[in-house]
Chain A
């Protein structure tokens, strides 16, 4: 191509989606282009242009406004304005030059014909922001499928079949012989051949059971294995992912999980299988945590956490998966610390549960986040018992801080008497927050609407949560106040040159991914969940469950999930980069470091959030 046009070619070729065009097609596109010039303050399209066109800003800037004069965004050098591509499309908005502007314009009819063999290019320009974002997130998820073995391998791909079994009447000794012969550390106990339902799994027996429940207790080795087996065993259906198996094993602290197919025993998956599948992984760290003998040992293990996060980010794992893994590990740390405290202080005087709040409860935690926790204690608690619980809280909280989960700056910790209370008091807390909502109080307590039991008696929180959700569903004033608070964090409009463009047309140097992107979606999902009585705490799960209810349409919920996953991915990559550079992870992204394409996707994500926030606002 001519040197002159090759200069223009280079300029255009660097702008997505033109980067996807081969040279000869791009040259044809360039030949269809016209260069236009407009003074500042003029309205697009330029005088004399009546056909539908695509515009690329070569130099200068454009602003676009809604029909009621609200600034919607800006275009600067290398931005594509596709508002004049189709008839009627431009009617909802108007576009004005901010300054003297040199534009490249491409007649859209010719263009669609020229690039007809490149549907991706056309769809990029023609699709709505929701469609574009969805496509991007689908691609990211596909990449994650390829990259992350655990998340997306089904159990079927690596379980052992058939599971090694022994009949219920087998003696402990014979079971031990079979285990030695097979080289297995675990057998599933099935009903005897003579039973009406033969080979029905009735329990599980492991090396550890033989050691602890038989040898250590001096039990006769000729008694049936049923004497020492774990009868109430966890199983997992073959259709689940390896990741689900990991979650269940982490949560229940087990290393062997029988696999069932349609309720029938089909095989066994072990933590070794998972570890082999994903070397330096969450299971690995979790099992190290369980074995740790001291807080010092835990501190040492905790240093692996940022490394795990980096590794997962590099593998292209989704932010959802990383959040769940880090949250599961944090849970393991907490449980280990609680057990250490119980070893020192003796058993709890009354039943209780250790609760996690905020991001850990939502399973959205990343390395280096602060701790948010609380204690819910049985109503049988006497005043003198509090000393035991304070000692527990202090030990665990100090331990978590040493392990990198720093003290909560807002003092939302079990060490705070306010958040170390009986079930009855927690009921009254929620009752006050819900039935007498006060905006400021709600702002401070919203973290408690994301609660989960880490350790202890899960029924304590369940009953409080049930009461709370019954109340929130009915209380529109509460939902209105929550909505109002949630609308205080707004996404930016987009980008202007190397700045973040915010609502009032101001420019900011950095994008706060957390407060201007992720938190608004978390808030919306929480509101939907509370309004619909959904007990889930994870944002994606809340959105999935709320989809199609009176709170949010199915399509909107899916759009929010796309936006959430995309923002999460960007945050994770950003943090991984910082961690690799030996810096503390944060949520601040400089526009200079965001690629042209990512900016487009970010703008789409912002638009999704804005649309849903506006809908929320008009609902109240």
Chain B
């Protein structure tokens, strides 16, 4: 399993897989995404290009549930450039569940005015090329993007991910004090670091909130200027 490899070989594995997949990928957005090399594992945080991403979905099951909206923004040089922000609702098939609508505030009306899944995923892949994806609790984004690519291109790519939840978890595990898993959620973590309240359950808002959290996490590490991609990867 890749978890057992050292970080270096792990990323080399990703690079190798990327090259393999590039050969098989169909012409189009996926192929273009795979044709850009991933950043090197020793890239310093300050020059790393990071794309903070968040999805709103109709549920937690990647196969049965659908992607509802995508939000992302670039974090580079310890700055979140709001000009790079993107937010798009997707026109998924079928009616929405009322209890979910309450959470993400995307109604059937809004959804039906959204874009097709393909054009949103293409935008995301285009923005993600050559960057590291940043998410909070990677499973959702990882599974839903994988599933979307399988539907659209017949195959799923690989890509490196930084997960602020795991960054926080490693820090807490190292301290050897017990903690409640709920402390690892985005809002409690932001609170802990003194970040302002944010309006959650909007994909772009959560992406920005996650990028802010990573800035704080890195700057609170013992030697922020020496932090490299390898220190942050999932």
Contact = CB atoms under 8 A, between A and B. Distances in A.
Report if A and B associate in a common complex: yes
A615 B144 CA distance: 68
A4 B77 contact: no
Given A2-B202, A3-B204, A39-B220, 4 more contacts: A3-B202, A7-B205, A30-B82, A37-B216
Contacts of B220: 39
Interface string B186-220: 00000001111011001111011001100110011
Given A3-B205, A7-B198, A7-B205, A47 B78 contact: yes
B212 A35 contact: yes
Contacts of A8: 82
A105 B79 contact: yes
Contacts of B199: 3-4, 7
Contact-size category for B: 20 to 34
Nearest to A30: B82
Contact of A35 (B46, B79, B203): B79
Contact of B195 (A4, A48, A102): A102
Nearest to A38: B219
A303 to B, nearest CB: 50
B204 A48 contact: no
B113 to A, nearest CB: 14
Contacts of B224: 39
Contacts of B203: 4
Contacts of B212: 35, 37, 102
B87 interface: yes
A32 B83 contact: yes
Interface of A is mostly: mixed
B208 A2 contact: no
Contacts of A105: 79
Going nearest first, the 10 A-B pairs with the smallest beta carbon separation are: A4-B205, A4-B204, A35-B80, A37-B215, A34-B79, A2-B87, A48-B77, A3-B202, A31-B83, A59-B196
A32 B84 CA distance: 9
A4 B78 contact: no
B81 A34 contact: yes
Nearest to B81: A34
A100 B216 contact: yes
B130 interface: no
B112 interface: no
Nearest to B224: A39
Contacts of A100: 193-194, 216, 219
A346 B71 CA distance: 91
A289 to B, nearest CB: 58
Contacts of A47: 46, 78
A5 interface: yes
A30 B79 CA distance: 14
Contacts of B146: none
A38 B216 CA distance: 8
Interface of B is mostly: mixed
A115 interface: no
A4 B202 contact: yes
Given A37-B212, A102-B212, A105-B79, A59 B205 contact: no
A384 to B, nearest CB: 79
B87 A37 contact: no
A441 to B, nearest CB: 54
9 contacts: A2-B71, A3-B199, A4-B71, A34-B79, A34-B80, A36-B79, A39-B224, A49-B79, A99-B194
Interface in A16-63: 30-39, 46-49, 58-60
Contacts of B202: 2-4
Given A2-B204, A3-B205, A4-B204, A37 B81 contact: no
A38 B218 CA distance: 11
B204 A5 contact: yes
B147 interface: no
Interface string A570-594: 0000000000000000000000000
Residue of A30, A46, A100 with most chain B CB atoms under a 10 A cut-off: A100
A316 B118 CA distance: 61
B84 to A, nearest CB: 9
A3 B71 CA distance: 11
B78 A33 contact: no
B189 to A, nearest CB: 14
B204 A35 contact: no
A350 to B, nearest CB: 75
B216 A35 contact: no
